[in-house]
Amino acid sequence: MDLDFVAEESSKPDLYDVIIIGGGPSGGSAAIYTARADLKTLVIDKGLTAGALGMASKIANYPGLPQPVEGAELVRKIRHQARSFGATFINEKVLRVDLEGSPKQVWTGEGGYQGRAVIIATGSMGRTNRFPGEERLVGRGVSYCATCDAAFFRGEEVAVAGSNDEAVEEALTLARFASRVHVLAPQSDLQASDELVEELTAHDGVTIHPATRIQEIKGEKKVEAVEVDAQGETETISVGGVFVYLQGNVPITDFLDEQVSKNEEGCLIVDETFQTNAEGVFAVGDVLCKHVKQAAIAAAEGVEAAVAVDRYLHGRKSLRPDWGS
């Protein structure tokens, strides 16, 4: 797929003041402050339950919320507040970026976006371990983007590994093309929002396999089958494609290439204002690997970065206090 922007002026995407990649507590809180500062704000996120907070079953120590709340509901509240100030949220996966030019450019499976500044808030749930056969068959049936590749599997059976919002949304995309979609859910229940779960379970072209984990992706020149552990039993499912949407515990930075400095652990490096080595590019939350993993701390970092972005875009050299309600 050619993701380059078309040169004609009429086809260029809208220019945002700030693009925030990741919509968890840090990205969502940043959006509240940038939108409230009248900055045109776009948040690109993979789904409500794609991040650590969204997957949490109960949050009982977030300031201002005396009663326990599900992590996904807390994320929803933060996003609702950001939207009330004018922020735009889209559920898409960022595939690559160009952070060196001006404006910054961000590409997803749906198209391209431009921003004067970027905040990276993608968290640390990236994968390091791969299944046997996965790396060898990438591009030959193994994929990480249904929006990009679903049409290649028209009329075939495919497997989707994962159970969060991103996995379910991608499975529904695949169901428009594939003859059957096998959803391999590691847990006994899907971890997505109720609306998505209802839509998926009602689809005639989808088979959900609970408590099922991939053991190996099989095939010589292309994917031919997936071997799984299904509730303690080994099974082989014949498929032409495998789409993987599972989480790990390393920073999600694959879309950055080498445009932003990282330490030896792959964590992004920032200064005291949360700006990276790339001018106008900031990073917050678990992708920094430097703080106690608490939603309140991540939210505070998002606020600090948002204030720094406002200062950067307006050419101010010092932070401006803001005690407004």
227 with 274, same domain?
A: no
Task: Report if residue 319 sits inside a domain.
Answer: no
Task: Report if residue 16 sits inside a domain.
Answer: yes
Q: What pLDDT is attached to residue 292? A: 64
Spatial neighbors of 63 by CB under 8 A, at least 6 apart, are: 296
Q: Which of 218, 244, 270 is the last residue of a domain?
A: 244
Task: Report if residue 182 sits inside a domain.
Answer: yes
Q: What pLDDT is attached to residue 323? A: 41
Task: Report if residue 56 sits inside a domain.
Answer: yes
224 with 165, same domain?
A: yes
86 with 230, same domain?
A: no
23 with 116, same domain?
A: yes
Task: Report if residue 325 sits inside a domain.
Answer: no
User: pTM (2 decimals)?
Assistant: 0.74
* Amino acid identity, position 6: V
116 with 37, same domain?
A: yes
Print the domain residue range for 304.
Answer: 9-126+249-313
pLDDT tens column, 282-309 = 999 989 987 566 788 899 999 999 999 9
- Residue that has been written with the tokens 């859910």 in this structure: 185
Going from the C-alpha of 215 to that of each of 50, 144, 208, 232, the distances in angstroms are 22, 18, 17, 12
Phi, psi of 165 (to 5 degrees): -55, -45
Q: What pLDDT is attached to residue 57? A: 64
CA nearest 303: which of 119, 103, 165, 124?
A: 119
111 with 28, same domain?
A: yes
Give 288: exposed, middle or buried? Use CB within 10 Å, 0-12, 13-18, 19+: buried
Region 135-140: mean pLDDT is 91
Whether 189 has a pLDDT exceeding 80, the answer reads yes
Whether 98 has a pLDDT exceeding 80, the answer reads yes
Strands 157-161 and 180-184, sheet pairing:
parallel
Whole-angstrom Cα distance, residue 311 to residue 117? 11
* CA angle (6, 170, 43) in 5-degree steps: 55
102-106: list long-range contacts, CB under 8 Å, 24+ apart. Answer: 102/280, 103/15, 104/19, 104/280, 104/281, 105/5, 106/19, 106/21, 106/44
Report yes or no: 65 and 78 within 8 Å, Cβ to Cβ: no
**pLDDT confidence band for 227 (50 / 70 / 90):** very high
Q: Which of 190, 215, 244 is the last residue of a domain?
A: 244
105 with 192, same domain?
A: no
21 with 78, same domain?
A: yes
Mean pLDDT of the chain: 88
Going from the C-alpha of 309 to that of each of 81, 85, 116, the distances in angstroms are 19, 17, 10
116 with 15, same domain?
A: yes
Q: What pLDDT is attached to residue 219? A: 97
Whether 69 has a pLDDT exceeding 90, the answer reads no
Task: Report if residue 322 sits inside a domain.
Answer: no
pLDDT tens column, 17-68 = 999 999 999 999 999 999 999 999 999 998 776 666 766 667 777 888 888 8
Task: Report if residue 292 sits inside a domain.
Answer: yes
Residue 77, helix vs strand vs coil: helix
Share of residues in the chain with pLDDT > 90 (%) = 65
DSSP string, 275-312: B-SSTTEEE-GGGG--S---HHHHHHHHHHHHHHHHHH
* Domain of residue 35, CATH code: 3.50.50.60
Instruction: Count the domains in the chain.
Output: 2
Task: Report if residue 205 sits inside a domain.
Answer: yes
Report the range of poorest mean pLDDT among 122-126, 221-225, 253-257.
122-126
Region 130-136: mean pLDDT is 92
98 with 231, same domain?
A: no
Whole-angstrom Cα distance, residue 97 to residue 256? 6
Whether 310 has a pLDDT exceeding 90, the answer reads yes
**pLDDT confidence band for 196 (50 / 70 / 90):** very high
90 with 227, same domain?
A: no
204 with 274, same domain?
A: no
Q: H-helix or E-strand containing 41?
A: strand 41-45
Q: Which of 225, 244, 263 is the last residue of a domain?
A: 244
Q: What pLDDT is attached to residue 49? A: 67
Report the range of poorest mean pLDDT among 3-17, 165-179, 239-253, 272-286.
3-17
Region 257-262: mean pLDDT is 93
Q: What pLDDT is attached to residue 1? A: 35
Q: What pLDDT is attached to residue 55? A: 62
